[in-house]
């Protein structure tokens, strides 16, 4: 697959929009999230959208190397190995694929404190992902 930087940048812009919207809900407590189904759904759906963008970006980049990961977690590891994301960011992102699957497939009732913890973590870590991917793209274009 051919690397299409503009496609990746479009997804990064959408990720930024999703995170901007999600950040409006950062001050809600676990109890508030538990009590408000609409708030919980907003946060869950936002995290799913963000995860899908992250893993779509990873798939696109890895595909340009002729690599196709079997799992979301493997995709993150391969992004680290190819130098797209730093080892530190990889460590902070680990587990995001599994959490995405819990939200999407509802393997179990989502633990609200865990949801909030992952939500707040995503607000910190996913902008780093966007920056590192954008920096990697700039290096490839030069």
CATH number at residue 89: 1.20.120.580
Q: Which two tokens stand for residue 27?
A: 């001050």
pLDDT of residue 109: 78
* Cα–Cα distance measured from residue 99 to residue 47, given in angstroms and rounded to the nearest whole number: 9
Q: Which two tokens stand for residue 23?
A: 């950040």
* CA-CA-CA-CA dihedral for 125, 127, 130, 135, to nearest 10: -100
Find the domain containing 33 and state its range: 5-141
Number of domains the chain contains:
1
Question: Is residue 23 within 8 Å of residue 120, measured between CB atoms?
Answer: no
* Cα–Cα distance measured from residue 86 to residue 88, given in angstroms and rounded to the nearest whole number: 5
List, for residues 90-128, the tens digit of each pLDDT value: 999 999 999 999 999 875 678 999 999 999 999 999 999
């Amino acid at each position: 697959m051919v690397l299409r930087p503009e496609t990746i940048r479009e997804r990064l812009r959408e990720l930024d929009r999703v995170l901007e919207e999600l950040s409006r809900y950062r001050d809600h407590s676990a109890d508030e999230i538990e009590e408000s189904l609409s708030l919980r759904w907003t946060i869950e759906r936002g995290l799913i959208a963000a995860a899908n963008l992250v893993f779509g970006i990873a798939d696109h980049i890895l595909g340009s190397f002729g690599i196709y990961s079997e799992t979301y977690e493997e995709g993150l590891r391969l992004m680290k190995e190819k130098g797209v994301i730093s080892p530190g960011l990889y460590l902070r992102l680990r587990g995001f694929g599994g959490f995405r699957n819990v939200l999407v497939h509802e393997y179990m009732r989502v633990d609200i404190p865990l949801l909030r913890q992952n939500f707040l973590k995503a607000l910190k870590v996913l902008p780093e992902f966007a920056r590192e991917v954008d920096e990697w793209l700039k290096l490839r274009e030069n």
